[in-house]
Amino acid sequence: MDELEPLTAPPTAKDILDAQERIRPYIHRTPIITSEKMNDLSAASNVRLFFKGEHLQKTGAFKARGALNAVMTHRNRAKAGAFVTHSSGNHGAALAWAARTMGFVAHIVMPKNAPKAKIEAVKSYGGIITFCEPTLQARETTAQQIQEQTGSVLIHPYDNYDIIAGQATATLELIEDAAQPLDAIYIPVGGGGLLAGAALANHYFGKARVVGCEPEQASDAWTSFKTGNWTPVQHPNTIADGLKTSLGRKNFPIIQKHVDDIILLSEDELKRAWDIVVSRTKQFIEPSAAAGVAAALKHDTQGSVGIMLCGGNMSLSIIDHI
């Protein structure tokens, strides 16, 4: 088995292509979904929307791409046969799946208030869960303790260049599979792994305007981008639970350099977008995936627009609050 070197700098075009080829046999090449009704609902008068269906990906989210790329890159270093991470849900499930796919086990540190559906998902993929207090410090400290106790390889959910390279493959596919060149791409942003990857994929392989989409009530990426100073999130409170995470330090410089703008969405705008996608396209997405849709419905972006439907993992009980 070839020894792969983990990335120590932002992924190059070759790194992204290598990641795409590496993970190709194990993941879905998710479909591009179009809807004339959605085009008509957009604020723009002349627009065609291309939705990248990552809610149909393995484990129900784009996270499977980065997790698998990281596991495959680090597998020769996993001498103890295990990986560890901290995650409120989607990355934890993705790492558990990726580790099991490659013949390893995964320890997943989760906040004790994590959504029940995401806890069950991690368990279903064989993840060994350790619960902690719902703070970033508690998550990181607990993951470090498990790493020291078990010899597991730590895979950060988003602040990791191998993760970013894997996530970039989703936007690379969007660029490749859209029926025409894209003028804009709307990407939800939490920790920034997906947005950083999208920005790099577009920089190397596309010519679109890349826009990050973030809840008003978890606006650290917007604040960091606008001020030029990395600013961690403080008390996020949004229905888009996948976007509550603080922007990663490795992701921030990539986003600063290659993202054109970050825009904020209100909770009402997120809820409306979620409802429209489910009712008009019959695609069951999670609220985080509605961020790009909400931005496209709100802003007058002309031409061909790519939108990342980043995930579809949510408890049905949350519908009462949308």
Distance CA 66, CA 165 (A): 7
Distance CA 182, CA 176 (A): 10
Distance CA 167, CA 185 (A): 15
CB atoms within 10 A of CB 117: 17
Set 52, 58, 63, 250: catalytic member: 63
What Å distances lie between residue 57 and 30, 79, 94, 167, CA to CA? 6, 29, 10, 12
Residue whose structure tokens are 């723009």: 44
Set 42, 88, 152, 219: catalytic member: 88
Q: How many helices and strands in the chain, by DSSP H and E?
A: 12, 10
First to last CA, the chain: 48
45 assigned to active site? no
In terms of Cα–Cα distance, which of 300, 240, 241 is closest to 267?
240
CB atoms within 10 A of CB 261: 15
Q: Contact, 291 vs 188, CB < 8 A?
A: yes
The single-letter code of the amino acid at 302 is Q
Q: Contact, 98 vs 206, CB < 8 A?
A: no
CB atoms within 10 A of CB 276: 18
298 assigned to active site? no
Q: Contact, 286 vs 312, CB < 8 A?
A: yes
Residue 165, token pair as written in the block: 């390279």
Sheet containing 47-53: give its strands across.
32-33, 47-53, 303-309, 184-188, 209-215, 261-265
Just list the catalytic residues: 63, 88
